[in-house]
Amino acid sequence: GPAPEADIEARTWLARHASGFGHFINGTFVPSASGRSFDTFEPATGNLLARLASGDKADVDNAVGAARKAQTLWAKLPGHARARHLYALARTIQRHARLIAVVEAIDNGKPIRETRDIDVPLAARHFYHHAGWAQIQETEFADHLPVGVVGQIIPWNFPFLMLAWKVAPALALGNTVVLKPAEFTSLTALLFAELAATAGLPAGVLNIVTGEGETGAHIVEHGDVDKIAFTGSTEVGRIIRERTAGSGKSLTLELGGKSPFIVFDDADIDGAVEGVVDAIWFNQGQVCCAGSRLLVQEGIADLFHKRLKRRMQTLRVGQPLDKCIDMGAIVAPVQLDRIEALVKQGVADGAALHQAKIEMPKGGSFYPPTLLSGVQPTSIVATEEIFGPVAVSMTFRTPEEAIQLANHSRYGLAASVWSETIGLALNVAAKLVAGVVWVNATNLFDASAGFGGKRESGFGREGGREGCYEYLKPKAWLGRKLRALP
Ligand code: TXE
């Protein structure tokens, strides 16, 4: 049928930048100082999508310089004035919601239903929420100053939403930003920069430098950046921690996970099966807090797996812009290869493989909903993040065993507990090592609730009051306070 209106709008926007996107520095698009660029591809077709500027040290220098210059003025604005800017950004996101949702679906491969109903509205909500904190900054955070110039490096699984998680609190509290989107998915960040300028955000407050890992490293190493906020792989998180050690930079890391999804024998089985759909097939399983380790109590394991397989059979994998699909494409061939290799290894380790026998799109990077059951806790598929639509299932007998299995991980990002006995659920929840625990639910987020990990899943919180403190530093009022003592 004919392309929907927003599709045309998105294709027009892409066509306008067909000769290539620049970095967004000091309120305008500029080419790379080196003239170097790289290409990105559409996950669902493999077709060339856009040419992006490759950020070098000189580009990062320019962006940090612009952010530094803007920071003094931005921080001097009263909170209510910054709040007005954040409200304007939130409304801009809502006004252009369809365009952003379509560009995101094309660029990342995720279903339009998700970008439309989750990524984009939640991003707007983050700007509204943090506009509120800016509004009352002088009273709520009287003893704090902004950190300064913040370098933010984000991944490809929720490109626009992760931008909002990072940019909204930073700007609200008086910081300026140099953000590097992931190389696979930079388009909504560039679109947002364009929209933000139109909405009156002062030049230099938000700068976007595109590029691969090397570009991120230049931001991390830059001497005039006060803080790094990173979301991505544990491996790169470790490098960034090493590189910032002793530099005086503040750091927050949101890294990988292998979150347990625990189903007790008294759980609402259909509810829990639907929970698994949200936990591991949402966003093709490319979710840092995905419920990727399914722990099922022995007595219901057969019944649960039977129902789960039946439900898998009804999932639809297809083109991201088709409103009727449940799963779209994997972000890039390299990620598809990684998923395939890990599943192969899981089977070699003795797991039983079940894949839904459903129609799969031709071309592009697609992977079917998959269940590996009878997995050994020591198998690589039980310990490593697969970051794909692969549920990995094990059984347990007692609550103690469930807790032990759940906590047997180097990660500690999230966990989900399913039981109709609230006492049991809450007792188990309290003993899990995880930054967030959901009871009879999964993958619930809100701008007002801090999110973050434990162990090798990183540190620092995003969202809510605690997230604000990550973008503030205490100011030394000690002398005055001491004088005020009787
Ligand atoms: O992540 P990277 P990748 C996990 C997931 C996935 C794996 C690999 O298991 O399969 O990581 O994904 C930038 N200095 N997660 O390789 O490399 C990079 O350009 C500074 C979990 O894509 O960590 C991108 O912008 N920056 C995760 C960002 O870091 C560097 C989400 C993340 O990319 C850099 C994504 C360097 N040396 C992947 N090297 C989650 N927690 O949600 C790369 N980058």
Here the ipTM equals 0.96
The mean pLDDT value for 20-25 works out to 98
User: How much is the mean pLDDT over the chain?
Assistant: 96
Q: How far apart are CA 385 and CA 287, in angstroms?
A: 10
34-60 pLDDT, tens per residue?
Answer: 999 999 999 999 999 999 999 999 999
Distance 338 CA to ligand 1 centre (A): 14
Residues of the chain with pLDDT > 90, as a percent, come to 96
Q: Which atom of ligand 1 is nearest to the CA of 211?
A: 19
Q: Is the CB of 255 under 6 A from ligand 1?
A: yes
Q: Is the CB of 346 under 6 A from ligand 1?
A: no
Nearest one of 282, 86, 106 to 191, comparing CA atoms: 106
Cα 86 from chain centre: 20
The mean pLDDT value for 364-376 works out to 98
DSSP, res 38: E
Q: Is the CB of 236 under 6 A from ligand 1?
A: yes
User: Best mutation site among 166, 215, 228, 236 for ligand 1, i.e. most ligand atoms within 8 A of its Cβ?
Assistant: 236
Q: Is the CB of 155 under 6 A from ligand 1?
A: yes
Q: What is the value of pTM for the model shown?
A: 0.97
The mean pLDDT value for 110-130 works out to 98
Q: How far apart are CA 231 and CA 104, in angstroms?
A: 18
The mean pLDDT value for 305-317 works out to 98
Q: Which atom of ligand 1 is nearest to the CA of 386?
A: 9
First to last CA, the chain: 78
Q: How far apart are CA 304 and CA 299, in angstroms?
A: 9
Q: Is the CB of 233 under 6 A from ligand 1?
A: yes
Q: What is the CA radius of gyration of the chain?
A: 23
The mean pLDDT value for 9-28 works out to 96
Quick check: 484 pLDDT over 90?
A: no
Q: Is the CB of 163 under 6 A from ligand 1?
A: no
423-446 pLDDT, tens per residue?
Answer: 999 999 999 999 999 999 999 999
Look at ligand 1, atom 39, and give the residue with the nearest C-alpha: 213
pLDDT band at 22 (very low <50, low <70, confident <90, very high): very high
Q: Read out DSSP for 47-95?
A: -EEEEEE---HHHHHHHHHHHHHHHHHHHHS-HHHHHHHHHHHHHHHHH
Q: Is the CB of 317 under 6 A from ligand 1?
A: no
The set of catalytic residues is 254, 288
Distance 456 CA to ligand 1 centre (A): 14
User: Best mutation site among 180, 233, 286 for ligand 1, i.e. most ligand atoms within 8 A of its Cβ?
Assistant: 233
Please count the CA atoms within 13 angstroms of the CA of 136 that sit on its side-chain side: 7
Q: Read out DSSP for 142-202?
A: TTEEE--EEEEE--SSSHHHHHHHHHHHHHHTT-EEEEE--TT--HHHHHHHHHHHHTTPP
Distance 346 CA to ligand 1 centre (A): 23
Residues of the chain with pLDDT > 70, as a percent, come to 97
pLDDT band at 1 (very low <50, low <70, confident <90, very high): very low
Look at ligand 1, atom 14, and give the residue with the nearest C-alpha: 217
Distance 236 CA to ligand 1 centre (A): 6
Q: In what order do the strands lie in the sheet with 370-373?
A: 352-355, 370-373, 390-396, 291-297, 259-263, 414-418, 436-439
Contacts of 327 (CB under 8 A, 6+ apart): 111, 281, 284, 315, 316, 317, 318, 369, 389
Distance 254 CA to ligand 1 centre (A): 10
Distance 35 CA to ligand 1 centre (A): 25
135-166 pLDDT, tens per residue?
Answer: 999 999 999 999 999 999 999 999 999 999 99
Q: Is the CB of 216 under 6 A from ligand 1?
A: yes
Quick check: 486 pLDDT over 80?
A: no
Nearest one of 81, 16, 116, 56 to 328, comparing CA atoms: 116
Provide the 10 A C-beta neighbour count for residue 407: 15
DSSP, res 299: G
Q: Is the CB of 456 under 6 A from ligand 1?
A: no
Q: Which atom of ligand 1 is nearest to the CA of 254?
A: 41
Q: How far apart are CA 313 and CA 327, in angstroms?
A: 13
pLDDT band at 3 (very low <50, low <70, confident <90, very high): low
The mean pLDDT value for 120-132 works out to 98
65-77 pLDDT, tens per residue?
Answer: 999 999 999 999 9
Task: Show the beta-strand stretches assigned E in 328-444.
Answer: 352-355, 370-373, 390-396, 411-412, 414-418, 436-439
Distance 263 CA to ligand 1 centre (A): 31
**Structure tokens, 461:** 């919180």
User: So what's the pLDDT on residue 2?
Assistant: 47
**Structure tokens, 269:** 């089985």
Helix, strand, or coil here: 340? helix
The amino acid at residue 364 is G
Cα 484 from chain centre: 45
